[in-house]
Amino acid sequence: MSRITLSCIKADVGGLVGHGEVHPEMLERSRELLGESDLLIDFHVTRVGDDINFVMTHREGVDDPGIHGLCWDTFKKVTLVAQKYKLYGAGQDLLVDAFSGNVRGLGPGVCEMEFDERPSEPVIVFMADKTEPGAWNLPLYKIFADPFNTPGLVIDNKMHAGFDFIVHDLKKNEQIKLSCPEEIYDLLMFIGAPHAYVIKDIVSRELDDIAATATTTKLSMIAGRYVGKDDPSLIVRCQSGLPAVGEVLEPFATPHLVGGWMRGSHCGPLMPCTVEDARPSRLDGPPRVIALGFQIAEGKLIGPRDMFQDSVWDKAREMAREMAYIMRRQGPFEPHRLSLEEMEYTTMPQIMKRLAERWEAIPEPGETARELIASGRAASTGDGGDID
Ligand SMILES: [Mg+2]
């Protein structure tokens, strides 16, 4: 049997009332256009917040120019709908004019894996809005390396061989493979800084096969300026030597804090919600994650099941809402506002530049401001009047 590729490609090409949602006509147009393609075995179009997500199966492999071209053209055409209604940020994630064979680096988020379809192939596709790719680091660690989350790591003999984590350094554009459980301390040192290091892939050592893959594109790294957070996706295969569906969902029962939210510059809880509820509004947030479950049968996407629909997740949502209140009290102060290092690609440098000339040395003990100016270490070039 030929191999199946599962692709999740997403973009924000216009928001219905700011950044909260997309127009239903954009989803209809997407379905129409993808439906015309003979490359796809099956597809599902959904949205989370202002992002449109295409979940697709095909036999073209990852990074296929045909599949990427199809998505690029579709996003371009859906942008016309956004422009017609003057939606906010129409076409904002399409950073270049011309498509060059692969959407990676052009703005849309890409998450793809190729595998032999097993006798039963359950997968969960997670999609988030108002956050960044590093948001998956903590849940992925729990799913694949923490026995307190995943009983299978203890109980299932096939999982005792552990998992290899491929981690990307977003700034240096390098990657490293760290094997768990033996290298978990090394792994945590890096992935605990989710704005700088992100988990790209996880491979089962027992099955020698891909178990999970995430988007790692960082839009700000591409554009060199703030162009919105990357709103990442994640595909996780489940069962039969891999974590069970319930183990894969479990980390989201206790919401964690992620970078993103308002203007991509704030830290807030990642709130698990249904597709229906994935319409952020409080300070354009808090960040949302949806989970769609599919059984893949001969490449067909059977489902989806909206995995966070169960009322058992209400408690997690309540915790996330409470965490949002706590973080909001801090207003423009860290750690609600992201650290300076993370603000580097926002409008922060412009403010720093504007005020650069006004910074001056702190006077030595006993030194007056007048003496400071006389010494040439002060910023002021005024007349030296009554300043001390
Ligand atoms: Mg978004």
Confidence (pLDDT) at 218: 67
Q: Any idea what the Cα angle at residue 133 is, between residues 233 and 68, rounded to 5°?
A: 50
Residue 22 and residue 52 in contact, taking contact as beta carbons nearer than 8 Å = yes
Confidence (pLDDT) at 104: 79
How many other CB atoms sit within 10 Å of the CB of residue 193? 13
Decide if pLDDT at 376 tops 80: no
- For residue 308, the 8-state DSSP code is T
CA nearest to 322, candidates 257, 262, 367, 263: 257
Confidence of residue 317 (pLDDT cuts 50, 70, 90): very high
Residues 6+ away with beta carbon under 8 Å from 83: 14, 90, 91
Helix (H, G, I), strand (E, B) or coil at 199: strand
Cα 223 to ligand 1 centroid, rounded to whole Å: 16
What is the sign, positive or negative, of the torsion defined by CA atoms of 176, 99, 224, 345? negative
Q: Any idea what the Cα angle at residue 134 is, between residues 129 and 140, rounded to 5°?
A: 100
Cα 129 to ligand 1 centroid, rounded to whole Å: 5
Alpha carbons 265 and 249: distance in angstroms, whole number:
27
Which residues of the chain form CATH 3.30.70? 1-116
Residue 222 and residue 95 in contact, taking contact as beta carbons nearer than 8 Å = yes
Long-range contacts of 187-193 (CB under 8 A, 24+ apart): 187/141, 187/145, 188/141, 191/134, 191/137, 191/138, 191/141, 191/165, 191/167, 192/137, 193/134
CA nearest to 335, candidates 344, 326, 348: 326
Helix (H, G, I), strand (E, B) or coil at 46: strand
Least confident of 56-65, 256-265, 343-352: 343-352
For 266-281, the DSSP string reads EEEE-EE--STT----
Decide if pLDDT at 77 tops 50: yes
How many other CB atoms sit within 10 Å of the CB of residue 352? 13
Confidence (pLDDT) at 192: 98
Which single residue is written with the structure tokens 């910023």?
Answer: 379
Cα 210 to ligand 1 centroid, rounded to whole Å: 27
How many other CB atoms sit within 10 Å of the CB of residue 144? 29
For range 128-156, the mean pLDDT: 97
pLDDT in tens, 330-362: 999 999 999 888 876 677 888 889 999 999 999
Q: Does the domain spanning 1-116 belong to CATH 3.30.70?
A: yes
Q: Which residues pair with 301 in a beta bridge?
A: 296
Decide if pLDDT at 136 tops 60: yes
Residue 283 and residue 366 in contact, taking contact as beta carbons nearer than 8 Å = no
Cα 230 to ligand 1 centroid, rounded to whole Å: 7
For 71-107, the DSSP string reads HHHHHHHHHHHHHHTT-BTTTTT--SSS--S--TTTS
- Name the pairing type of β-strands 209-214 and 197-204: antiparallel
Confidence (pLDDT) at 261: 93
Which single residue is written with the structure tokens 């697709």?
Answer: 56
Cα 132 to ligand 1 centroid, rounded to whole Å: 10
Cα 19 to ligand 1 centroid, rounded to whole Å: 7
Decide if pLDDT at 384 tops 80: no
pLDDT in tens, 78-105: 999 999 999 998 888 888 877 878 887 7
Cα 264 to ligand 1 centroid, rounded to whole Å: 10
For range 254-271, the mean pLDDT: 95
Confidence of residue 364 (pLDDT cuts 50, 70, 90): confident
Which single residue is written with the structure tokens 């162009």?
Answer: 227
How many other CB atoms sit within 10 Å of the CB of residue 351? 11
Q: Residue 29 — φ and ψ, nearest 5°?
A: -60, -40
Decide if pLDDT at 385 tops 50: no
pLDDT in tens, 145-179: 999 999 999 999 999 999 999 999 988 889 999 99
Q: What is the CA radius of gyration of the chain?
A: 23
Cα 21 to ligand 1 centroid, rounded to whole Å: 8
For range 178-195, the mean pLDDT: 97
Decide if pLDDT at 107 tops 90: no
Catalytic residues: 12, 226, 229
pLDDT in tens, 274-311: 999 999 999 999 999 999 999 999 999 999 999 999 99
Decide if pLDDT at 386 tops 60: no
Q: Residue 222 — φ and ψ, nearest 5°?
A: -75, -50
The mean predicted confidence, pLDDT, of the chain is 92
Cα 130 to ligand 1 centroid, rounded to whole Å: 5
Cα 228 to ligand 1 centroid, rounded to whole Å: 7
pLDDT in tens, 198-243: 999 999 999 999 999 999 776 666 666 655 568 999 999 999 999 9
Alpha carbons 194 and 343: distance in angstroms, whole number:
14
Cα 14 to ligand 1 centroid, rounded to whole Å: 9
Alpha carbons 10 and 98: distance in angstroms, whole number:
18
pLDDT in tens, 32-60: 999 999 999 999 999 999 999 999 999 99
